[in-house]
Amino acid sequence: MRILVTAGPTREAIDAVRFLSNKSTGRMGYALAEAAVAAGHDVVLVSGPVALTPPDGLLEFVPVVSAADMADAVKRRAPDCGMVIMCAAVADYTPAHPVDRKMKKSDGNLTLELKRTEDILKTLGQNKPAGQILIGFAAETDDLEQYARSKLAAKNLDWIAANDVSRPDRGFAAGTNAVALFAADGRRFDIPLQSKDAVARRMLGILLPPSGR
């Protein structure tokens, strides 16, 4: 099966030398891509800026910087994929008026105007080809199941992988993770705290239909 995985943060330019970003290291997405290659799949990895080396054996590696770049790269490739795992921590907002030189400071405060980015996953859900398995992530600090299930429905997903990012041992920038997987048909699987590599293998075992394993 052809599987598209997104990973890492995005960077949203404020000016020529400054950006807005987040704490994602890309480790969970890279672990998912590596596990999918090891299971014999054709894997496309679309990655924001991270300090990791892409796994060997990818069908395609697509480095991107901003949320808009990621949207372009993903929307172009997703229609040909049997599974899309949207693991990247995509910025929700981007500076409305990025400056192409380095901004000078002045004595007063500065107000930045931010505009919404495209919700890539929502767009994919609205245009999902028959048979494609679409998976999102939900990083939450409270009411994990409630928020995860409402995202699953709102974005027309088949699965959502939820993690509690209020705890230092899971989610953003941790080497380990614990994930609750919620299916559109109501099933729930809990993958206990372990390395992101081990979580990735367990996740794929659950997400892939028997014919695709």
Stretch that binds ligand C5P, among 14-22, 104-112, 117-125, 179-187 (CB under 6 A): 117-125
137 makes contact with ligand C5P (CB under 6 A):
yes
List the structure tokens of 97. 């008026």
| Strand locations in the chain (E) | 2-7, 12-13, 19-20, 42-47, 60-63, 83-86, 93-95, 114-116, 133-140, 159-164, 176-183, 188-195
Q: Which is nearer to ligand C5P, 43 or 138 (CB)?
A: 138
State the Cα–Cα distance between residues 195 and 82, nearest whole angstrom: 26
Binding mask 58-97 for ligand C5P (x = CB under 6 A): ---------x------------------x-x-x-x-----
The catalytic residue among 22, 127, 163, 177 is 22
Neighbours of 170 (CB within 10 A): 20
Active site (annotated) includes residue 127: no
Q: Which is nearer to ligand C5P, 102 or 188 (CB)?
A: 188
- Spatial contact of 140 and 162, defined as CB atoms under 8 Å apart: yes
Q: What 8-state DSSP symbol labels residue 184? A: T
* Catalytic residue IDs: 22
Question: Which residues are at the interface with ligand C5P (CB under 6 A)?
Answer: 67, 86, 88, 90, 92, 117, 119-121, 136-138, 151
